[in-house]
Each structure stands twice: as structure tokens, then as C-alpha cells.
Amino acid sequence: MSFSSRIATLLIGIAATLVATENSGKAAAADNDWVMPGKDFAATRYSALADINGGNAARLHPLWTFSTGVLGGHEGQPLVVGNTMYVVTPWPNVLYAFDLTKEGYPLRWKYRPEVSPNSIGIACCDTVNRGAFFVDGMIVYNLLDGHTVAVDAKSGREIWKTQVADLSAGETTTMAPLVVRDRVIVGASGGEFGIYGWVKGLDLKTGKVIWTGHNLGSDADMLIRPDSYKPPYEQGPDLGVRTWANGSWKTGGAPVWGTISYDAQLDLIYYGTGNASPYNPEQRAGDNKWSSSVLARRPEDGALVWAYQFTPHDSWDYDSTGAMILADLTIAGKPTKALVHFDKNGFAYTLDRATGKVLVAAPYATLNWAKSVDLASGRPVLDPAKATGASKGNVTDICPSLEGAVSPSSPAAYSPRTHLFYTSTNNLCMDYQAAHSSYLRGTPFMGANTPYKAGPGGHLGAFVAWDAASGRKVWENTEAYPSWSGALATAGDVVFYGTLDGWFKSIDARTGKVLSKFKVGSGVVGNPITFRGPDGKQYVAVYAGIGGDWFLLAGDVRSDDPADMRPAADYIKDIARRTSQGGIVWIFGL
């Protein structure tokens, strides 16, 4: 590397830090730390640290491991603040604080909250937790049983605990909160239980619920105010009621369980909503707004500013809870404040994040339920042969499967150096046989039988580099198994991810070439992070611990209950040959 390119790299690093700082309001932090789930408010999962680079990444090796003592799927990521690393486990949601200044990283403290075991049976898809948020000396996170807690980052003492969700209605809390100024933003899972989906804004100091905005229902419930609401496409009052036949909005789902992002200049939070309930779409004729959508709200009072629906009348369980990544891109020669989203439905969307208008929508994985997205109306051009419903019988060979072209639990990363987005993908298709489902409060409300099969090529997953300005795949590394890890991009032009069978990989950001790989203790469904330790060295941390949907789909990776024996999945017969459950935190370095 020449001297001038070193300077350029340095400047880009500083610029990236400035952008992150500008976006980050109170939680500003140097790139030495990782203080919130998506790294910054833009959810880029990009770090300006560059000590680990293409020239030395081959030397990466594990330096430290820690068993969390928990077997559930380890989604989410650790936080690093100063000299401390924080780890939240799946249920029972233990919070560990590791002292990074001492040999072996002993604990400063651990916080063991009281969490209802009944939540285990209400969480649709394993007892996952998607991470914590550091702000004002507090670690804020959700417990599975519908509580949000704030814990003193120094002492581990509980500061407040608020019930936000109702287990008896099928609500659990798996997502990581986002804190903007003095508002803690949280949502609930429950798209498989017919919940009445919402987000809430809590007061950071007290935990008191200040506002609740539903994702469907009346304009009043949705916090739609005529003076501030400017939808990009469909207009009219009470769309959250009128687009649901027979009052079906009351049990319509639209949960919130992914990453929330925030633009400080526009003062908007962005989050995706999950599927409409039930899976049988004939029980809820209409567009079903705003399920499978992105919503933009004011953090202070929750007012809805705009909403855009990726999948109207979702008939395939295509949640849109995946991250909304904010990036300033040059699109057709024009600088654009963009929002980029890899939807379960197989399209990658590039939106104008001020207005919600779709600028680019292109397939990043095999899909056939729609032919394209009409940019004038924002609506998908459907293939009627792939429409599902109880009256249609078994509709075969729909791509992607309801696991999504990517899991919303596997957030992408964006590098401002390569201008590329990096995402895991699944190469799965499905048959979909819908049937009538009865609503019984607090129990599953689904109604579809959906066996999976491998998509074209036979491999089950891939890791993809994507140009969101043009809607183009730049390169792809195929994976034998569905790829269920989040991505990490760094200024060293090294990208990191893990595989379902437990390989943790570093790759070249520009070519995808594998620079190093190591077999960690269990399949990776978590998100790697990087930080600079107290010793000045750059480290990379990631959870191993297969689970999430794979707790259900590949039940033979479990050995924890001799009274619960699952058959192998017929499309992924040998995953249990290569990995099994177990939560372990790994730290890698040079």
C-alpha cells in the first residue's frame, strides 16, 4: 500500500467514524467499541478498524472461548464498551460482563433476571435474543417473557424493568431495543400467534411506556397524524383496517423482531414488520397493511411518517423484519440518502429513506412468486400460479421458502469503502398447502404445511456481495447449508461470517476469497463484531450456537432431552453430523 493510499484509507476511516458519530446522538462511540446491535444507528455493521487486513487475516485464530451455559440459538452479538464485553444469552437471558483487562477475561458480574419459563412455549422459533444496547452507562435489553430491562453497566444492578408484551396474547420479545435520545424503542414477536403487532417507546430513565404504535389497525392506533403522515404510494384513511377483510386485522400479526435503524437528520426510526397472520391468506382478504412492510416513525412520539409494503397480502410468510440499512449511495449519478433491505421475499430493495419511494428492486436470490417490482406503484408483479390459500390446495415449488431468501435474524453489512452490501442467503424453495386455522388466544395461529427443498444448484445457501445502487450481485460464495449468520465488514477490507455447520470465515471484501476459516464449537447463527481491546489489538467476536429456526428444522442437532427425539430433515440430512447445540462466545485475533 502506498503512502497516499494509506492517507486515503485513514481519511475514509475518519469520515466513517464521523458519519457514525453524527448519526448516533447520545450513544456516540469510537470504532474501538461496539455499543449497539448494528454497530451504528445506520445498522451498517461496518467498523473502521483495519489492523486485520487481507495481508494478515490468514493468521486469525481463536484466543478465548466461553460457554454461556445455554443451549438455545445464539443469535445477536456481544457489545464491547471500553474494557468490558457484554453478552446476553437466549432464555433465561443472562447478561454477562467480561473484564477485558485481565487474563482470561473473568467476569465483573452477571445478571440473572427472573424470566417466565412459559415464554419458551410462546416463542415460535426458539428462545433467541438478538442483543442489547449500551447507552448512558446502561445495558438495555429484552427478556423473552415480554419485559425490557435496564441494567447498570458498571455494577450489573437492575435499574428498571417494564412489562411491554403480553405472553397470554402470544407476544414474546426477542429483538434488540434501539435507544434514540431518551426513547427506548421495542417491539414484540408473535406473527405465528395472531398478535396485534406494535412498537413502543419507553422513557430511558424510568422505563415507563410513553407511546404505543400499532403496525395495523386504525389510524389512531397506528399513530397516524394528518400533518406528519406522507405515504409514498397508497393513500386513504384507516388502511390498517380497510385492507383486512372481516376485521382480520385484530389478529393480523405484523410483529417486530428485527433490527431498528435511525437517521438523526431526518429524525426517523426505520423498522420492518413481520408476516400477516394466519398463514392461510384467504382468512384475511386485502393488502393487509402494514404487515411485511417498512415503517418510518418519529422516535419521540411514535408518529408514523411513511410506510411501504414489500409484500402486499403476504401469502408465503415473507416477513420484512430484516435490517433497514441506511447508506448514502450514488444512484444513477445522483447522491441519494438510501435505505437498503434484503427481504425474505427474495428482492433487495433500495428506497429513498426520506420518502419511502422504491428506487431499485432486484432479486438477490432465486424467486418466482413475483416477476418484478413495478417502481411506479411500488407493487410486486405477481405470478398468479404461486398464489396460496386453503382453496388452492398444494401450491408447489415456490421460491424462496418461508425461511426467506435471507433470515431477518442474519443482518447484512455495508462497507463504504467497497460500496458493497454483504449478506447471507438461503437457497430453499417450498410447497405451500394452506388450510383454515382457528384463532385461540395465546396458541399458534398459522395454517399451512410447507415442506422445503433445495433451490436451483442444490446448495442450500450462499454469501453474497451486492451493489444496491444498481441492484446487481457482484460475487457469491455458495455454501452447502443455509447461511444464517450476520455479516461484519471492516476497513481492513475483510468481511466475516459463520456457517450453519460451524465454520467461522474471514473473506476478502472485494472478491469473496476465503482468507481464514476455523471450526467453532457449534453452528453460527449470530453476528460477528470487531473491537479494539485494552491492549490496543483488534479482535473479532462471534457466538457459536445453532438454533433459531434450526432448533425446529434440524431437531436432530439437539441432545438435551432424551424424551424429545427428532427425525432428520430430508433436505438437510447431515447437518447433525457436523454440528450440535451449544452456546459459546469466541474471540479471534492475529
Partner 1 sequence: MKRSRSTWQRLRGHARTGAPGSCALAACLALGSCAGPTNSPPPQPAAAGPPGIAYEAHVAAGAVVPGGVELHNPHSGDKAVAAAGAMLFTTMNCDGCHGGDAAGAVGPALGDGRWRYGGADAEVFSSIYFGRPKGMPAFGGALGADGIWELVTYLKSLTPPPTVPTESWQGP
- The footprint of partner 1 (CB under 8 A) covers 116-126, 167-169, 192, 194, 246-248, 250-251, 278-279, 283, 317, 390, 402, 432-433, 435-452, 549, 551-553, 555-556, 561-571, 573-574, 576-577
CA angle, residues 351, 352, 356, in degrees to nearest 5: 75
Q: Tell me whether strands 503-508 and 394-398 are parallel, antiparallel or unpaired.
A: unpaired
What sign has the CA pseudo-torsion 230, 198, 156, 73? negative
User: How many whole angstroms separate alpha carbon 396 and alpha carbon 404?
Assistant: 16
| Least gap, CB of 251 to partner 1 (angstroms) | 5
CB of 570 to partner 1, least distance (A): 4
User: In angstroms, what is the minimal distance from the CB of 83 to partner 1?
Assistant: 37
The CA distance from 316 to 380, in Å, is 14
Residue 371, beta-bridge partner list: none
Beta strand 133-135 with 538-544 is unpaired
Cell 447445540, located at residue: 581
Residue 60 or 569: the one with the smaller Cβ distance to partner 1 is 569
556 catalytic per annotation: no
User: How far is residue 215's CA from residue 254's CA, in Å, rounded to a whole number?
Assistant: 6
Question: For residues 84 and 172, which CB has a smaller minimum distance to partner 1 in the complex?
Answer: 172
Please identify, using beta-carbon distances, which residue of 493 and 549 lies nearer to partner 1.
Answer: 549
Contact status, residue 288 vs residue 313, Cβ threshold 8 Å: yes
Q: How far is the CB of 187 from partner 1 (least distance, A)?
A: 20
Shortest distance in whole angstroms from residue 455 CB to partner 1: 15
Which residues lie closer than 8 Å to 568 by C-beta, 6 or more apart? 554, 556, 574, 575, 576
Does the annotation mark 234 as catalytic? no
The 10 Å Cβ neighbour count of residue 83 is: 13
To partner 1, the closest distance from the beta carbon of 170 in angstroms equals 10
Cell numbers 430433515 label which residue?
569
Three-class SS of residue 540? strand
> Nearer Cβ to partner 1, position 9 or 251?
251
Q: Which is nearer to partner 1, 162 or 189 (CB)?
A: 189
Instruction: State the minimum distance, in angstroms, from the CB of residue 444 to partner 1.
Output: 2
Beta carbon nearer to partner 1, 446 or 515: 446
Between 227 and 570, CB nearer to partner 1:
570
- The helix/strand/coil state of 552 is helix
> Measured in Å, how far apart are the chain's first and last C-alpha atoms?
20
The nearer residue to partner 1, 374 or 574, going by C-beta atoms, is: 574
Contact 11, 417 (CB under 8 A): no
Tell me whether residue 4 or residue 391 sits nearer to partner 1 (CB atom): 391
Residue type, 566: R
Q: Which long-range contacts link 479-483 to residues 24+ away (Cβ below 8 Å)?
A: 481/523, 481/572, 481/575, 482/403, 482/407, 482/426, 482/427, 482/428, 482/572, 483/406, 483/410, 483/424, 483/425, 483/426
169 — phi, psi (to 5°)? -95, 5
Active-site entry in 23, 32, 275, 477: 275
The 3-state DSSP class for residue 142 equals strand
Q: Kindly state the smallest distance separating residue 130's Cβ from partner 1, in Å.
A: 17
Rounded Cα distance, 259 and 408, in Å: 8
Which of 33, 145, 171, 192 does the annotation list as catalytic? 192
Cα separations in angstroms, 258 against 91, 407, 416, 547: 17, 10, 23, 16
Strands 46-47 and 461-467: unpaired
Report cis status (omega within 30 of 0) of the bond before 456. no
Shortest spacing between CB 553 and partner 1, in angstroms: 6
Q: What gap in Å lies between CA 496 and CA 465, rounded to an integer?
A: 12
Alpha carbons 319 and 321: distance in angstroms, whole number: 6
The verdict on whether 192 is a catalytic residue reads: yes
Active-site residue, from 287, 317, 403, 501: 317
Catalytic residue annotation: 192, 275, 317
